Amino acid sequence: MIKQPLTYCLAATALLLAACSNNDDDFYATPGGLYAGTLSASSLQDSTYAIIDESGFGRMIDSTSGDYYRLSLSNKDLSLSGTYQEYPASGDAAVSGDFSGRLTDQGMKGSFIVSGSTVSSLSALFDNNYFYRSNLNLLVGNWSYSASGDSFSVSLGINSDGSFTGSDSSGCDYAGAFSVFDSDFNAYHVSYTLTCGITHSSYSGVAAYYYADSQYPAGIELMADDSNGNYLAVQVLSAPATAAAAQVAAPASAKGSPARPAPAVLRHTAAG
């Protein structure tokens, strides 16, 4: 995404926007951002959501198919390139390939390429919620996902240092930590050990915080994997009675952004 050093300008109200610079020399571009868009292959168009930090380390979920992507991107000016691994929701073998695209003032566009052939095309809009500053104190409290008709649920308790423990309905336990990569941006790193019986797996990934809005309480969008095809993509919501973050108001409007992703879970794990 094309950015301005005073990044809050792009997330501010119209009044503040008028004060932002219009000098092209004041702008720069990185892959970093929250992105919502479409992934097109043949005549199909799937909805996608991605979290990518300023270094290009990211994760993406195809919320239509449930397929999961590990991303490693870099840019030279507006040209975007990198590699990816796709973990099919079916549990089929992972697919590795290249990504080639371009950053725009609205987000990014590009192609996923395997053995020289384009297999799908991405068109994604930038979500200005990325410009909210990250702070581990926002994550403190109890967070959970559960939904009518969904047999899977997960609960996490997060401490002020970012460490957390939790459990899910499959009988698995979580122990790990969130960390701040760059406090200017709303992208967190996350790592944890998933223990299911006598099996221990190390997961890593990214997360983003969403302030409470008129539709949902505060939420954490989390995407992590074990690098072997097992992954979890979920939005956990704050428990209003215990999570201080549920009472925090957003510092500024993020008008013009794509809609916040709905709380949902997409996962594949050999543990169930």
pLDDT in tens, 67-90: 999 999 999 999 999 999 999 998
How far is the C-alpha of 189 from the C-alpha of 207, rounded, in Å? 6
As a whole number, mean pLDDT of residues 100-119 equals: 96
Task: Give the per-residue pLDDT at 70.
Answer: 98
Evaluate whether 228 touches 93 at the Cβ level (below 8 Å): no
Task: Give the per-residue pLDDT at 261.
Answer: 78
Task: Give the per-residue pLDDT at 85.
Answer: 98
pTM: 0.86
pLDDT tops 50 at residue 243: no
How far is the C-alpha of 163 from the C-alpha of 186, rounded, in Å? 18
As a whole number, mean pLDDT of residues 18-31 equals: 61
Evaluate whether 9 touches 16 at the Cβ level (below 8 Å): yes
Task: Give the per-residue pLDDT at 266.
Answer: 77
How far is the C-alpha of 97 from the C-alpha of 87, rounded, in Å? 12
pLDDT tops 80 at residue 176: yes
Sign of the torsion formed by the C-alpha atoms of 146, 222, 259 and 17: positive
How far is the C-alpha of 131 from the C-alpha of 256, rounded, in Å? 13
DSSP result, 180-198: ES-TTSS-EEEEEEEEETT
pLDDT bin (cut points 50, 70, 90) of residue 259 is: low
Higher pLDDT, 75 or 260: 75
Task: Give the per-residue pLDDT at 240.
Answer: 57
Task: Give the per-residue pLDDT at 3.
Answer: 62
Nearest to 261 by CA among 232, 238, 233: 233
Bridge partners for 175 per DSSP: 165, 193
Nearest to 27 by CA among 1, 54, 4: 4
How far is the C-alpha of 34 from the C-alpha of 50, rounded, in Å? 6
Evaluate whether 108 touches 202 at the Cβ level (below 8 Å): no
Average pLDDT, the chain: 85
DSSP result, 79-125: EEEEEEEEE-TT-PPPEEEEEEEEE-SSEEEEEEEETTEEEEEEEEE
Task: Give the per-residue pLDDT at 18.
Answer: 41
Task: Give the per-residue pLDDT at 252.
Answer: 52
Task: Give the per-residue pLDDT at 214.
Answer: 82
pLDDT bin (cut points 50, 70, 90) of residue 245 is: very low
pLDDT bin (cut points 50, 70, 90) of residue 244 is: very low
